[in-house]
Amino acid sequence: MKKKNILIMGISGQDGSYLADYLLKKKNYSIYGISRKNKKIKNHIQLGIDKKIKMKCMKYDNYIGLKNIIMKKNISEIYFFAGQTKPVLSNLNFLETIYSNLIPVYNIIDIILNYKKEVRFFNASSCEIFASNNKILNENSLKDPQTIYGLSKLITLEMVKFFREKYNLKICSGILFHHESILRDKSFVLRKIILAAKKIKEGKQKKIKLGNIEVSRDWGWAPEYVKIIHKINNQKIIEDLIVASGFTVSLKILINEVFLKYNLNWKNFIHLDKSLLRDKDVIVKNANNLKIKNKLRWKPKYNAFDVVNRLMREKLH
């Protein structure tokens, strides 16, 4: 079987790295990646795939460079995981967040539309696109983002949908709820809590500062999510789908879970810092994943408790 050539933008991050690893193991894929930095990628080294990916160093908004890769390498599938994702940075850098998420996605669509309409394209959208309420969220729920990051992801979702429906392109978005792994940046909350609890147990740290621990989220496992992302990008009838475990739990409960494993009472070590509170932070995000489960026959194996347990078993650093 002739190998398919896959292009992953944002290949250095959690999702891009795991997707590359997954597709390389399937044997019939050659992976091309774009990175803004010309250096070895730690995640790829950790997964043992650093020498198996054909990397190109360039900016994500480089239209000509992107077009050349897609055409010359005969790319058949594209995945976009790039753009500004960290909430703290996103809320401080409005223009960079909007630009980094919108322009590359538009360029990809434009190249597909004008030069290679058979290419399949997956855009990583986010649960941050939804309105602030306690309702269970599905693909048709009210969209009203509370952050600049959420706004940028809503715009790309609508842009992908517009060009798919108007020009019959094979392009779609996955509305991704929170998902974690050992490759996740340690600044994200679950990794931050687990690493801090370990250091506290070892006597290397006294407290951990957190913002709102009353929030409830649907946390999934990234290595599992990239497999369904690949399926979403190869749907027969193309549409945008929510990717979530279907299980929501409060951060406070997970904090208790982590500290109990170290025989510690979390209340003695958590310092609630008002400066870490986010304006208009949505308290509860419940996901309805029924559509993707029925359409693609997907049964997620891991919920938030499984994620915490797996993270604690792995060597975090």
Q: Verify that 204 and 307 share a domain, yes or no.
A: yes
More confident residue, 275 or 284: 284
Q: What is the DSSP letter of 278?
A: P
Q: Verify that 161 and 12 share a domain, yes or no.
A: yes
Q: Verify that 57 and 143 share a domain, yes or no.
A: yes
pLDDT at 66 over 60: yes
pLDDT single digits (tens) 198-242: 999 999 999 999 989 999 999 999 999 999 999 999 999 999 999
Average pLDDT, rounded, for the chain: 92
The CB density around residue 91, as the number of other CB atoms within 10 Å, is 15
Residue type, 305: F
Q: Token pair for residue 247?
A: 């299980």
Which residues, 6+ apart, have CB-to-CB distance to 168 below 8 Å? none
What percent of the chain clears pLDDT 70, i.e. is strictly above it?
94
Q: Verify that 189 and 171 share a domain, yes or no.
A: no
Lookup result for tokens 């951060």: 251
Confidence of residue 147 (pLDDT cuts 50, 70, 90): confident
- The Cα-based distances of 267 to 85, 95, 152, 259, 274 in angstroms read 30, 39, 37, 9, 17
Q: Verify that 47 and 136 share a domain, yes or no.
A: yes
Confidence of residue 36 (pLDDT cuts 50, 70, 90): confident
Q: What is the DSSP string of 72-101?
A: HTTEEEEEE--S---HHHHHH-HHHHHHHH
Q: In angstroms, rounded to a whole number, what is the distance separating the alpha carbons of residues 292 and 232?
A: 9
Q: In angstroms, rounded to a whole number, what is the distance separating the alpha carbons of residues 13 and 139?
A: 26
Q: Verify that 85 and 229 share a domain, yes or no.
A: yes
Continuous segment of H or E residues that includes residue 286 = strand 286-287
User: How big is the chain, counted in residues?
Assistant: 317
Q: Verify that 273 and 162 share a domain, yes or no.
A: no
pTM for this structure?
A: 0.93
CATH number, domain with residue 8: 3.40.50.720
Q: Verify that 198 and 230 share a domain, yes or no.
A: no
Q: In angstroms, rounded to a whole number, what is the distance separating the alpha carbons of residues 97 and 128?
A: 14
Q: Verify that 132 and 202 share a domain, yes or no.
A: no
pLDDT single digits (tens) 287-311: 999 999 999 999 999 999 999 999 9
CB 180 within 8 A of CB 188: yes
More confident residue, 88 or 24: 24
CB 275 within 8 A of CB 213: no
* Number of structural domains found in the chain: 2
Q: Which domain holds residue 271?
A: 182-218+247-313
Q: Verify that 173 and 291 share a domain, yes or no.
A: no
Confidence of residue 35 (pLDDT cuts 50, 70, 90): confident
Q: In angstroms, rounded to a whole number, what is the distance separating the alpha carbons of residues 174 and 232?
A: 7
What pLDDT is attached to residue 278?
67
Q: Could you give phi then psi for residue 176, rounded to 5 degrees?
A: -85, 125
Q: Verify that 95 and 141 share a domain, yes or no.
A: yes
pLDDT at 317 over 50: no
Work out the angle between the directed axes of helices 63-72 and 94-115 (0-180°, nearest 10): 40
What pLDDT is attached to residue 299?
94
CATH number, domain with residue 212: 3.90.25.10
Q: What is the DSSP string of 241-253?
A: EEE--S--EEHHH
Q: Verify that 143 and 267 share a domain, yes or no.
A: no
Q: Among 190, 208, 243, which residue terminates a domain?
A: 243
